[in-house]
């Protein structure tokens, strides 16, 4: 690539990291632009140079075209890769790059313009003999005209903004009575998102599949397709799981899809990576929906089944090189799935979330398992950007083996600290209809009851939780358990079994139970839950390299392995069927006696951070609420206050120290409960 030796990545998160890996492999120097919120992000650490271009809000940083061009000129970057989202489909930015003498790693501005307006693209596709759905794409946008055209098309009707994507400005009017309110809603959303309320109407294909084709073009007139992806399973009109190739699609249909996508690319003189999206009905008839003039979030599944690096292809095409392979040389091998792991709450309408990733353990990456992410444990999922945590991508020789691998890897994707959709993805990947490949865009609402089952905490879960607590305490001596007979197998008590009761709160936040555990000697226990009792034994092993603790548990002769997180009073089990959380309530007399150990009322760090200021010294008397320490965590300032009245017994850290979450910062001795 003689034309490109330094590349600026005008994006963030996992796609920026993805582009940086390829650019490093190709020997290119890299420049990252970051907002103030991303100064210490993973993509900033991976780049050769980092330039902060503004505050966290994307409008003041990642969307500032002038600042990005300025950094490219100052650093000598010959090319800018926009990733996806942000400026990737911005006509003005592509034009600005060209006028500034900088290579835009993407299609010509004319192609973005032609395909960016849905009504224009429909006309172009019809002329290129790409199948389209009949509808109205006219300039008369009066409500009466749109209602009249909807009546001609016949309900149900799809109402779509001519600009944008991501499901925004899109509504379905199932009946004529629905039409006006749905039209107004689509217009309002489109105006807020794209500054344009022009709409088009289409016949709504019921229970459709969302099929897209990866296409590529170069500056020499060569075009290829890299087969199709099925992206049908969605929530809020946004994709959540993708696979390649599409289940049930024959080679005859696959060829027709690919050739239609190439005709679409040729019609606008396309260069680089593009995705032509189709709606497919139950009879495998397909119709053009839109063309995304950029790399897609789900591009890794196409890479996995073709053995290609599409970012490398983008860079080579942008540098003026010919495509690395011809159509006949591109072979389909195996099957691939991608699951998008989000900070969101599926049980609350997939409400997006934000906050620190207090704990993160992942499956082991390999040639068959890719983890595309831009965050690490301790990083924050910011309120300013998309709440995606990672993309988990797997490959197998066939669909069944790839799906089994996906489910297994999801069970090893362990997150604590904020809500995630991992449990939901596991339920989805194991749903009988999904396993059979019976997918369409209505999959989630149609199978809602099965995909959102009531979470049941079983006696097995309780046995595992209780055993985890006891084994963990035996391996972590504190004042609380220094003389605990559960820690030793020597010594005897005549006519008495060692019995302990644990107080657990179940996930619903309402149910409390008090299982008992009876020590029988030789690492053998009896756990009593209500009227049931179980013979239990096991061991707890910490894997520091992969950041998880594993419990091997034998319950009534049945052995299982479960990852366990014990943090504060939280007990979280990461099982093969999903995660289960409980809280372990400490007795009051114990919590009062644990002040000097960081397990009760001491001042502790709420999250990882750096000590900024210390207000007190040893021996000071403090009152509840007095400021003790200031720390900087997740780019914010936190004032740590005295949790009770008492005397400062010990200050654990000095200004400038980095501390982990739950580190004791100041030990406060309570005179009333002081140990004698």
622, 645 contact by CB (below 8 A) = yes
Same-domain status, 173 and 97: no
Structure token digits, residue 530? 């209500």
The whole-angstrom separation of Cα 617 and Cα 670 is 16
Give per-residue pLDDT as tens, 2-32: 689 999 999 999 999 999 999 999 999 999 9
Same-domain status, 297 and 162: no
275, 292 contact by CB (below 8 A) = yes
What is the rounded average pLDDT for all residues in the chain? 89
Mean pLDDT in residue range 167-176: 89
pLDDT of residue 595 exceeding 60, the answer is no
CATH number at residue 270: 3.30.470.20
Same-domain status, 269 and 362: yes
Q: How confident is the model at residue 490 (pLDDT cuts 50, 70, 90)?
A: very low
Same-domain status, 649 and 633: yes
Tell me what pLDDT residue 134 has: 79
Is 124 domain-assigned? no
* Active-site pick, 12, 18, 64, 294: 294
Give per-residue pLDDT as tens, 608-658: 667 888 999 999 999 988 899 988 754 456 788 888 889 999 898 888 777
Is 113 domain-assigned? no
**Where does a domain end: 166, 185, 203?**
203
Label the pairing between strands 609-614 and 658-659.
antiparallel
Same-domain status, 303 and 353: yes
Give per-residue pLDDT as tens, 431-440: 999 999 999 9
Tell me what pLDDT residue 487 has: 47
Classified as helix, coil or strand, 635 is: coil
> Catalytic: 29?
no
Helix (H), strand (E), coil (C) string for 422-479 = HHHHHHHHCCHHHHCCCCCCCHHHHCHHHHCCCCCCCHHHHHHHHHHHHHHHHHCCCC
The percentage of residues in the chain with a pLDDT greater than 70, rounded to a whole number, is 91
The whole-angstrom separation of Cα 33 and Cα 12 is 8
**Where does a domain end: 418, 451, 484?**
451
The whole-angstrom separation of Cα 316 and Cα 293 is 17
The whole-angstrom separation of Cα 236 and Cα 230 is 17
| 396 closest CA partner among 373, 423, 367 | 367
The whole-angstrom separation of Cα 631 and Cα 603 is 12
CATH number at residue 561: 3.30.700.30
Same-domain status, 181 and 245: no
CATH number at residue 155: 3.30.1490.20
Same-domain status, 478 and 426: no
Same-domain status, 526 and 406: no
392, 410 contact by CB (below 8 A) = yes
Is 123 domain-assigned? no
| 287 closest CA partner among 256, 330, 248 | 256
Torsion over CA: 243, 244, 250, 253 (sign): positive
Mean pLDDT in residue range 423-447: 96
423, 407 contact by CB (below 8 A) = no
The residue to which tokens 């239609």 are assigned = 260
Is 122 domain-assigned? no
pTM: 0.79
213, 227 contact by CB (below 8 A) = yes
Is 117 domain-assigned? no
The whole-angstrom separation of Cα 75 and Cα 94 is 19
307, 378 contact by CB (below 8 A) = no
Residue 65 burial class via C-beta count within 10 angstroms: exposed 0-12, middle 13-18, buried 19 and up: middle
Classified as helix, coil or strand, 67 is: helix
Contacts of 414 (CB under 8 A, 6+ apart): 359, 360, 361, 362, 422, 548, 563, 565, 572, 574, 579
What φ, ψ does residue 402 adopt, rounded to 5°? Answer: -65, -40
444 C-beta neighbours (distance < 10 Å), count: 19
**Where does a domain end: 531, 562, 585?**
585
In the chain, how many domains are there?
Answer: 5
What φ, ψ does residue 347 adopt, rounded to 5°? Answer: -75, -5
- Rounded to the nearest angstrom, the gap between the alpha carbon of residue 564 and the centroid of all alpha carbons in its chain is 21
Is 111 domain-assigned? no
Tell me what pLDDT residue 601 has: 62
Contacts of 676 (CB under 8 A, 6+ apart): none
What φ, ψ does residue 128 adopt, rounded to 5°? Answer: -85, 5
Same-domain status, 546 and 399: no
Is 119 domain-assigned? no
The whole-angstrom separation of Cα 543 and Cα 563 is 10
Tell me what pLDDT residue 494 has: 42
Give per-residue pLDDT as tens, 71-88: 999 999 999 999 999 999
Angle between the N-to-C axes of helices 399-411 and 422-429, in degrees from 0 to 180, rounded to the nearest 10:
150
Is 121 domain-assigned? no
CATH number at residue 39: 3.40.50.20
Mean pLDDT in residue range 527-538: 96
CATH number at residue 611: 2.40.50.100
Tell me what pLDDT residue 597 has: 34
Rounded to the nearest 10 degrees, how much is the dihedral formed by the CA atoms of 176, 181, 183, 185? -150
The whole-angstrom separation of Cα 32 and Cα 23 is 12
The whole-angstrom separation of Cα 495 and Cα 669 is 39
140: containing domain: 134-203
- Rounded to the nearest angstrom, the gap between the alpha carbon of residue 43 and the centroid of all alpha carbons in its chain is 16
Same-domain status, 572 and 640: no
Give per-residue pLDDT as tens, 463-489: 999 999 999 888 764 434 444 554 444
Same-domain status, 199 and 213: no
Give per-residue pLDDT as tens, 333-379: 999 999 999 999 999 889 888 888 989 999 999 999 999 999 999 89
Tell me what pLDDT residue 567 has: 82
Same-domain status, 403 and 308: yes
Tell me what pLDDT residue 60 has: 94
Structure token digits, residue 208? 């459709």
């Amino acid at each position: 690539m003689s034309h490109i030796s330094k590349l600026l990545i005008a994006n963030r998160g996992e796609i920026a990291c993805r582009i940086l890996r390829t650019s490093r492999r190709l020997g290119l120097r890299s420049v990252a632009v970051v907002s103030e919120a991303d100064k210490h992000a993973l993509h900033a650490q991976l780049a050769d140079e980092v330039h902060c271009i503004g505050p966290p809000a994307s409008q003041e940083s990642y969307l500032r075209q002038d600042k990005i061009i300025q950094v490219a000129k100052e650093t000598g970057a010959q090319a800018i890769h926009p990733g996806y989202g942000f400026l990737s489909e911005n006509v003005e930015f592509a034009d600005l790059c060209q006028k500034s003498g900088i290579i835009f790693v993407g299609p010509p501005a004319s192609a973005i313009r032609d395909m960016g307006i849905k009504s224009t693209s429909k006309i172009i596709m019809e002329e290129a003999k790409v199948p389209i759905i009949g509808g109205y794409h006219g300039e008369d946008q009066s409500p009466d005209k749109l209602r009249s055209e909807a009546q001609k098309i016949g309900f149900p009707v799809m109402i779509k903004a001519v600009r944008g994507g991501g499901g925004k400005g899109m509504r379905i009017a199932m009946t004529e009575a629905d039409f006006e309110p749905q039209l107004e809603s689509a217009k309002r959303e489109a105006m807020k998102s794209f500054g344009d309320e022009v709409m088009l109407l289409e016949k709504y294909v019921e229970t459709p599949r969302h099929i897209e084709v990866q296409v590529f073009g170069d500056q020499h007139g060569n075009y290829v397709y890299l087969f199709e992806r099925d992206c049908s399973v969605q929530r809020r009109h946004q994709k959540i799981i993708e696979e390649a190739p599409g289940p049930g699609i024959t080679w005859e249909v696959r060829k027709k899809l690919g050739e239609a996508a190439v005709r679409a690319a040729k019609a606008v003189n396309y260069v680089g990576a593009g995705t032509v999206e189709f709606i497919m009905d139950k009879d495998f008839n397909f119709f053009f929906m839109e063309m995304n003039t950029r790399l897609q979030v789900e591009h890794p599944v196409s890479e996995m089944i073709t053995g290609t690096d599409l970012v490398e292809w983008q860079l080579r095409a942008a540098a003026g090189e010919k495509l690395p392979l011809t159509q006949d040389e591109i072979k389909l091998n195996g099957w691939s799935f991608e699951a998008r792991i989000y900070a969101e709450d599926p049980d609350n309408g997939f409400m997006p979330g934000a906050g620190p990733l207090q704990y993160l353990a992942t499956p082991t990456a390999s040639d068959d398992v890719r983890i595309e992410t831009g965050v690490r444990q301790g990083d924050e999922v910011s309120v300013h950007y998309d709440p995606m945590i990672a993309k988990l991508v797997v490959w197998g020789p066939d669909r069944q083996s790839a799906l089994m691998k996906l489910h297994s890897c999801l069970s090893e994707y362990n997150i604590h600290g904020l809500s995630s959709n991992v449990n939901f993805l596991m339920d989805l990947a194991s749903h009988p209809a999904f396993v059979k490949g019976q997918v369409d865009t209505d999959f989630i609402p149609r199978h809602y009851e099965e995909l959102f089952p009531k979470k049941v905490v079983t006696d097995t879960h309780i046995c595992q939780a209780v055993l985890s607590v006891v084994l963990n305490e035996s391996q972590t001596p504190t004042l609380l358990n220094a003389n605990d007979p559960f820690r030793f197998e020597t010594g005897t008590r005549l006519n008495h079994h060692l019995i302990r009761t644990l107080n657990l709160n179940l996930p619903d936040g309402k149910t409390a139970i008090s299982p008992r555990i009876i020590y029988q000697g030789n690492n053998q226990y009896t756990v009593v839950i209500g009227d049931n009792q179980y013979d239990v034994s096991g061991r707890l092993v910490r894997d520091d390299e992969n950041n998880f603790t594993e419990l091997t548990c034998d319950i009534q002769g049945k052995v299982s392995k479960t990852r366990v997180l014990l943090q504060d009073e939280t007990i979280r089990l990461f099982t093969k069927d999903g995660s289960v959380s409980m809280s372990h309530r400490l007795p009051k007399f114990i919590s009062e006696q644990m002040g000097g150990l960081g397990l009760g009322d001491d001042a502790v760090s709420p999250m990882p951070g750096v000590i900024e200021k210390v207000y007190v010294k040893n021996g000071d008397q403090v009152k509840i609420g007095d400021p003790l320490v200031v720390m900087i965590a997740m780019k914010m300032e936190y004032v740590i206050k005295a949790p009770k009245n008492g005397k400062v017994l010990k200050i654990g850290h000095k200004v400038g120290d980095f501390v982990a979450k739950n580190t004791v910062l100041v030990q406060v001795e309570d005179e009333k409960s002081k140990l004698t």
